[in-house]
Structure formats: structure tokens, C-alpha cells
Amino acid sequence: MEKKLPCDNGVEVCTVDKTVIQHWEKQYRTLVNALFPNFIFVFDEDFHFVEIITPDELRLFHTREELLGKDARIFYPPEVSELYIANIRECLRTKQWREVEYYMEMNGTHFFYQARLVPLDDNRVFCLVQDIWDRVRRMEELITERRRAVESDRMKSAFIANISHEMRTPLNAILSFSEFLMNEEIPENRQNHMNIIRSSNALLQNIISDILELSRLDAGMSEFSFEETDIVALMMEVSEIHKPSMKLGVQLLTDIPKSDIRVPTDANRVKQVLHNLITNAKKFTEKGSILLKVEEGDENLTFSVSDTGCGIPEDKLATIFERFEKLHRFVQGTGLGMAICKSIVERLGGEITVTSKIKEGSVFSFTIPYCYVALQKKDIGNIRELSNQRKKILVVETSEDDIQYIHNILTIKYDVVEITHIEKIISAFILDQPDLVLMSMQVVDKIDIVTKIRAISPTIPIIVMTTNDFYHDQRWAIENGCTDFIAKPFSPSKLEEVVMAFIV
């Protein structure tokens, strides 16, 4: 209801009933909520916060009370402050709206905003701020995709040129010596021709196998089977396979712990990487030795293949694991072997590195997650059979109380694997093969954990539990590989709702 009150000069002034104000404030709030993730500032001409309006779902870096009446230059970096001040003054001078875009960095994450400034009166502007991170990200993705397309064309050309050369070499030998063989009558020459054809066949088969293997790895179609593996037996098997084919004057040595080492991994894939590394070392080692070694650590097993060969030039070390990269062009091979090794090791949850000195030799090392396991193969089979009946959730939380709370909620419908030690996450992930990961924000801050999980499984849902509902924390988690988030404290129904969005 409208009321009229007298002023000192006798003129009646209209005021608005409190219920009317509340009504308009409610309508205003509904409009602001509809604008999420936008928020509104009112600045004066000196760049002070006059008013702040945010949607209910949005939390700024600072509270409303911390900002009101304060000089915004305290909270914005100098370059952003200068941009704002110049446009506020221009907006007030011309009585025309202005638009600016800028970015800020918080906790190592870039935030991109667009601000539209509209004059309210002679010394205040209405500022609608919009988070344009999605738009910037899409633009970056388009640029990245274009670069990938250009790189793909370059790689395709390199592939055709390289493979054409590598395949023609054994094919020419096969065709030529097959022709010679048909007309050759001397037994010794016939045997020599057949040996050349046999070795060319093997080379051609290896080239085709490398191409197909890398294609399967890229497409995510290459199968990995994780089970308890006897590492000592695996190393001895690899050593025995390669010893007969060593060059004269080159020894294959082993350094293997005598203790029993059993880890959950894919034995065939580990052997595949070791075979590739040893084969590569044999190509470039003319005398001395090749050392096959494994070392135990708290978190990982480290495998290494060292040689006393020609070494790798420093400018080649950074690209040695790239496709079609060859140390010497005259050495046969596709240049795909090291790229395949890298892809396999990352899928196993580890990393591969190389060090080298010219004329002294090279050391290729790779890791796989390591933990003692007492399960027999039949027990692992039972676990897999059970996981087919009930979905499995890996919960990573540093608080024992939170672990118990989550356990009580989820165990009704799901099998829950609980981890409180960060160093055990990858081992548990590989062994238990969960359907979803529920992870504390304190752990997600260790961003390499998420990166390693994503290398093993690009699609598994990773839900991060945040200690607050600040928008920048949530967005940071999504930007760095997580699938969704849930803010603490959360109710049992809220946790179930978030989990069921990804697994049933």
C-alpha cells in the first residue's frame, strides 16, 4: 500500500509499503536465480561495491558483507581494476552501456568473465557479470581440434611415407628371393634365399602388428586383464626368451630380488613392454651388456632396461616416445615401438622415462602400482563374479568418520572399497576395478591421481566431495578430470542421488 509522508519543506513524499518492497525483492530474486551463473554488482564512479546480488546457488570468492562499501581494487588485480574503472567512467559519461571481458586466476585456475555495464544514475552503474568459461573452453576446444586436424594430416603423411618405406623393404626381399628360389638349383643358395624370405616375413609381420596394436590402443579396444602376477617368474621368462638371440659380445644380465613379488597387473602387457625395450636395446648395443632389472618401492615397482649402446642424442630424448620417431633412419622398424610402450604403461597406471648418454648407453624405466596381495586367482574370480551382481564404488577419504558415514549409506546397494592412504589408490583401482570413484577434494588436489586414473579409464565417473560449495572449487574439479561434485555436509538421499546419476 502506498503512503504519503510530509517532509521538512511541506512537500509530500511517496513511500512504498514494506510488503510491496518484499514482493518486488522476491520477484527480483526469482529473476536473478534464472540468470545463474550470472551475478550483479552495482559500482559507484570510484569503483566501490554499492550492491551485490547473486543467485542462491552461487558463492563468490568473498561474502557480501566483506565486499559491500569496499574499494573493488582490493579484490581485483590491477589490470582488471583499470579496465573496469575506464569503462565505468566512459559508461557514466556517455550514458551508454559498455561491455568488457577479462580473466582472473584463483588457486591456479583461470576464470573468464564478461561484464555488461549500464548507467543507473549520475554516479552509479549496474554491472551484470557472466561466467563465460564454457564459451572460452569451447573456443579453445575448437582451436585444439583444428590443431589436431592439422597434426593428424601431418602424421598421416608421415605414416604413409614411413610405412611405405618400411613395408616395401621386406616385400621387395620376399618377392625378389621368391623368384630366385624358383630358379635356384644349388641347395646352399636355396637355403640362403629361404632364410632371407623367412626374416623378411617376420619383419613384415612385426610392422603390421605394431600398426594394429597402436590402433587398438588409441581406440580403447585393446583388452587389459588385471590379476595377481608373479613378477620374479615373469622377469625370468622374459630373460630366457631373449638370451639366445643376443649378439656376439653382448650379455643379457638380470637384477631381480629373491623375495616373492606379486602385484595386480596385466602380465602379458608388462612382458610386451619389456620385450619391446630389450629388442630396442639389442638394435643399438654392439658390445657390453643389457641389464634387465626390477626394484621395489613403497608405491610402485620400477622396471628398467639398461644398455651400453650408442646412446640417444639429447635433442631426441624429448620425442623418443612419439610416433614414427626413430633414432637412426637406417635401422629397420616403424618407430611405433616406444609409443606403444608409453600407451601400455599409462593404461597400467604407471609412467615411462628414459635417460641416456652418447657412447655410454641408455636406461628405459617404467613403473606399475605396487602393493602386496594375498589373493589367489580363485578369490579374484569370486570378486569379479560378485562385482557383476553389485556395482562397486571406490571411496577415497582421509577422515575415518566420513568413511564410516559414507559406508553406512552406500553398502545397502553397492560394494564399497575404502581407501584412506593416497599411495594405495591406483593399486586399489586396478585390483578392484570399481564402477565409480568417490574422492575427497583433499585427494583431488593431488591432481596426478586423477590424471593416472584417467589414463587407465577415460570414462569412469569420478565424484569429488568438496568441503564447501564455492563455485570455483566445483569448476576446478570438473576442469581437471572429475565428472561431478557433491558439497559437504550432504544427506544420505543427496549422496544416493548423485551416485545413481552414474550407476544403478
Q: Could you give the count of Cα atoms lying within 13 Å of 329 in the half-sphere of its Cβ? A: 3
> Quick check: 452 pLDDT over 90?
no
Give domain limits for the chain: 35-131, 134-222, 224-374, 380-500
pLDDT score for 221: 59
pLDDT band at 280 (very low <50, low <70, confident <90, very high): confident
Chain-wide mean pLDDT for the chain?
A: 78
Give the strand order in the sheet containing 462-466: 415-419, 392-396, 436-440, 462-466, 484-487
Mean pLDDT on 438-455 = 76
pLDDT score for 304: 94
> Quick check: 62 pLDDT over 80?
no
Q: Percent of the chain, pLDDT > 90?
A: 12
pLDDT score for 429: 85
Higher pLDDT residue, 170 or 60?
170
> Quick check: 77 pLDDT over 50?
yes
pLDDT score for 274: 92
Identify the top-confidence range among 48-62, 359-373, 442-456, 460-474. 359-373
pLDDT band at 331 (very low <50, low <70, confident <90, very high): low
> Quick check: 366 pLDDT over 80?
yes
CA distance 182 to 184: 6
Higher pLDDT residue, 289 or 350?
289
> Quick check: 195 pLDDT over 70?
yes
Higher pLDDT residue, 177 or 294?
294
pLDDT score for 328: 56
CB 397 within 8 A of CB 440: yes
- Per-residue 3-state assignment (H helix, E strand, C coil) for 373-433: CCCCHHHHHHHHHHHHHCCEEEEECCCHHHHHHHHHHHCCCCEEEEECCHHHHHHHHHHHC
Higher pLDDT residue, 162 or 151?
151
What are the pLDDT digits (tens) for 459-489? 889 998 877 555 566 677 777 788 888 888 7
- Beta bridge partners, 126, equal 42, 118
pLDDT band at 427 (very low <50, low <70, confident <90, very high): confident
Mean pLDDT on 402-424 = 85
CATH 2.40.50.140 for domain 224-374? no
Mean pLDDT on 80-96 = 91
Mean pLDDT on 160-184 = 76
Pick the range with the lowest mean pLDDT from 2-16, 224-238, 335-349, 425-439.
2-16
> Quick check: 16 pLDDT over 50?
no
Higher pLDDT residue, 329 or 293?
293
> Quick check: 376 pLDDT over 70?
no
CATH 3.40.50.2300 for domain 380-500? yes
Higher pLDDT residue, 414 or 420?
414
134-222 maps to which CATH number?
1.10.287.130
pLDDT band at 20 (very low <50, low <70, confident <90, very high): very low
Higher pLDDT residue, 35 or 440?
440
pLDDT score for 7: 46
C-alpha cell recorded at residue 264: 595386480
What are the pLDDT digits (tens) for 224-246? 777 788 888 899 988 888 888 88
Mean pLDDT on 380-389 = 44
The pTM is what? 0.51
Mean pLDDT on 415-440 = 83
Mean pLDDT on 169-173 = 77
CA distance 368 to 119: 61
> Quick check: 99 pLDDT over 70?
yes
pLDDT score for 354: 92
CB 215 within 8 A of CB 234: no
> Quick check: 372 pLDDT over 60?
no
35-131 maps to which CATH number?
3.30.450.20
pLDDT score for 394: 92
pLDDT score for 336: 72
For residue 297, give every residue at least 6 positions away whose Cβ sits within 8 Å of its Cβ, in sequence order, or none: 367, 370
pLDDT score for 289: 93
Alpha helix locations (H) across 249-375?
267-284, 314-317, 337-347
CB 53 within 8 A of CB 40: yes
Higher pLDDT residue, 75 or 61?
75
Pick the range with the lowest mean pLDDT from 171-175, 191-195, 285-289, 473-477.
473-477
Pick the range with the lowest mean pLDDT from 108-112, 277-281, 322-326, 359-363.
322-326
Higher pLDDT residue, 445 or 248?
248
> Quick check: 260 pLDDT over 90?
no
Place of cell 657412447: 359
Higher pLDDT residue, 8 or 346?
346
Q: Tell which residue, 117, 115, 143, has the closest CA to residue 131.
A: 115
Higher pLDDT residue, 440 or 56?
440
C-alpha cell recorded at residue 398: 582421509
Helical pair 337-347 and 447-456, crossing angle rounded to 10 deg = 110
